[in-house]
Amino acid sequence: MSVVVPAAMLVLWELCSRLAIISPRYFPPPTTVGWVLADRVAAGDLGAELVVTLTRLVFAFALAAVPAIPLGLLMGIARPVRHVVEPYLAFIFPVPKITLLPFLLIILGLGEPAFVLTGASSAFFQIVISTLAGVQTMDPRLLDVGRNYGAHGLRLFGKVILPAALPAIFTGLRLGLGLALVTLVAVEFIAAKSGLGHLVYRHWQMLSTPEMYAAFALIGAVGLVLTRGLRALQARVLTWQDDSGG
Amino acid sequence: MKALGRWLTEHGMTVGSPIALLLAWEWASATGLLRAVFFPRPSTILAHLRDLALDGTLWGHTATTLARIGWSFTLAAVLGVAIGLAMGLWRRLREGLDPVFAVIYPIPSVLFLPLVSFIVPAGEVALVVTSAVTSFFLIAFTTTHGVRQIDRLVVEAAVHYGARGWRLFATVLLPGALPFIFTGLRLGLGFSLIVVVAVEIVSASRGLGALLWLSWQILKVEDMYATFFVIALLGALLSYGLAALRDRLLPWVPDVGDR
């Protein structure tokens, strides 16, 4: 079934487009899109745009994860820190992060830092919140047991708290990476002059629909590989834990 | 008085830290430590917010955005719950649609605007449909999962006692899936706001997203901050207000998204 239905949908689309039941101008047959995709990949320009988007994603993700995990852990351990930071998290978390783009654009100017930071901000808040939740929802008995056996301070943190929070941190990283990709592609669509998101925008404006769908398909593939791949990795690395907060 | 004191020791930091930050910001912008061009004083922003509210600009844009959120959320909720339930009940449908959804879901919904504008009239309808895409998938996923996680024993017991068809669905399957459906709806509503604002930035001339983007383009920085504040307020209202409403109306329904 999982092969039949998608295949049937593609065949149906192909037929409707070929027979001009749906406008081939707006909905070119999948085979045409496939050929264009192969063609552009062979020519190298699609690959180049993919690399641009992925590079931005790597920077955004790193910029988010490196401060977010320590902050989340610190908030989990130290109550005062949590009380001080929480209002900002609560205020910014539900806000569409794309609205930060104009602010970063006026402060940093139109360019890579503004694009990357917008993507990073959407991952950052997710990772902080997941990490914090990981520390907060850990079984308090684990802490008691650790203390009873003489683990304090750094030892307690390294041997008990961090391992207990690890699955939630991983979940946060996985969700954060997905959010960063979504935000980055949207930023590319709106403001950047390169990347897969911009490719969709440009080909929409020029009505070169096969190229548009090709870029579309590539974005879907990247998202699929990232989400599925990380989930598989998580299941492998953290075999003893359920996926929490996913 | 005593209660107030206790409340303050409990929440003092949480309330104090934003106030301290705002005061520090006010002072830094006033003395020129922060460039007021980029970081206007909070009091100035507040004055602009008041002006925008008084001349009606803000209400018009907010109403437009709220109406769009309402329409796209309704569209996503109706289709998402229906298809999610169907996918939860029929294995073949689930197996067939899963790979299709898996490829489409990670694509940012703003990108669907071109596609949608080929199918439905461009403008308001295209905007609403585009904004519904992500919420739809989210609601469909959680609903499917909600049906699937129902204990098999419960279903078998119900079947034993003669519940079939509609009865089984209405008395066992739907109530069992309800917590997940609610979580899906709550998350979906939050996403509706996010996507509506994003699509407004791209293509609309009205709405809060459009107001934010236009304020940027003509460098009305104070209006940008004021608009951002309203969007954040709306986001807080939608996500925390709905959770509070659920706790109030359906206290027995656990929020599975809070785990």
pLDDT per position as a tens digit, A40-86: 888 888 889 999 999 999 999 999 999 999 999 999 888 888 888 88
The pLDDT value recorded for residue B69 is: 94
Interface-testing mutation among B72, B194, B195, B242, with chain A (most A C-beta atoms within 10 A):
B194
Tell me the residue type at A189.
F
Tell me the residue type at A158.
G
Domain boundaries, chain A: 32-237
CB contact A138 to B (< 8 Å):
no
Helix, coil or strand: residue B149? coil
> What does the mean pLDDT of chain B come to?
85
Residues of chain B with CATH 1.10.3720.10: 41-258
Q: Which residues contact A162 (CB under 8 A, 6 or more apart)?
A: A73
Q: Minimal Cα–Cα distance from A174 to chain B, Å?
A: 13
Contact yes or no for B41/B160 (Cβ under 8 A): no
Contact yes or no for B175/B59 (Cβ under 8 A): no
The Cα–Cα gap between B181 and A190 comes to 33
The Cα–Cα gap between B177 and B81 comes to 10
- Report which of residues A151 and A197 the model is more confident about: A197
The average pLDDT across B242-255 equals 70
With an 8 Å Cβ cutoff, are B106 and A178 in contact?
A: yes
The torsion of the CA quartet B123, B126, B128, B129, rounded to 10 degrees, works out to 170
∠ CA B140-B143-B146, nearest 5°, is 150
The beta-carbon neighbor of A189 closest among B14, B111, B221 is B111
What pLDDT digit, counting tens, does each position of A9-41 carry? Answer: 888 888 888 888 888 888 888 888 888 888 888
∠ CA B68-B69-B70, nearest 5°, is 90
The average pLDDT across B119-145 equals 89
Question: Residues 126..145 of B with a Cβ closer than 8 Å to A: which?
Answer: none
Under CATH, which number does the domain A32-237 receive? 1.10.3720.10
The pLDDT value recorded for residue B152 is: 81
The pLDDT value recorded for residue A245 is: 43
Under CATH, which number does the domain B41-258 receive? 1.10.3720.10
What pLDDT digit, counting tens, does each position of B198-245 carry? Answer: 899 888 788 999 999 999 888 888 899 999 999 998 988 887 777 777
The pLDDT value recorded for residue B259 is: 37
Question: Residues 48..107 of A with a Cβ closer than 8 Å to B: which?
Answer: 80, 83-88, 90-96, 98-99, 101-103, 105-107
ipTM above 0.90, yes or no: no
The Cα–Cα gap between B163 and B169 comes to 9
The per-residue DSSP string of A21-52 comes to SS-TTTS--HHHHHHHHHHHHHHTHHHHHHHH
The beta-carbon neighbor of B13 closest among A5, A9, A83 is A83
Per-residue pLDDT at B137 exceeds 60? yes
For chains A and B, CB pairs below 8 A equal: 147
Least confident of A56-65, A234-243, B148-157, B179-188: A234-243
Nearest residue of chain A to residue B34 (CA atoms): A107
The Cα–Cα gap between A205 and A199 comes to 10
What pLDDT digit, counting tens, does each position of B70-86 carry? Answer: 999 999 999 999 999 99
- Report which of residues B255 and B60 the model is more confident about: B60
Helix locations, chain A, DSSP H: 4-18, 30-43, 45-77, 79-92, 100-108, 112-136, 140-148, 153-156, 162-190, 196-205, 209-237
The pLDDT value recorded for residue B250 is: 67
The Cα–Cα gap between B133 and B198 comes to 13
∠ CA A164-A167-A171, nearest 5°, is 145
Q: Minimal Cα–Cα distance from A91 to chain B, Å?
A: 6
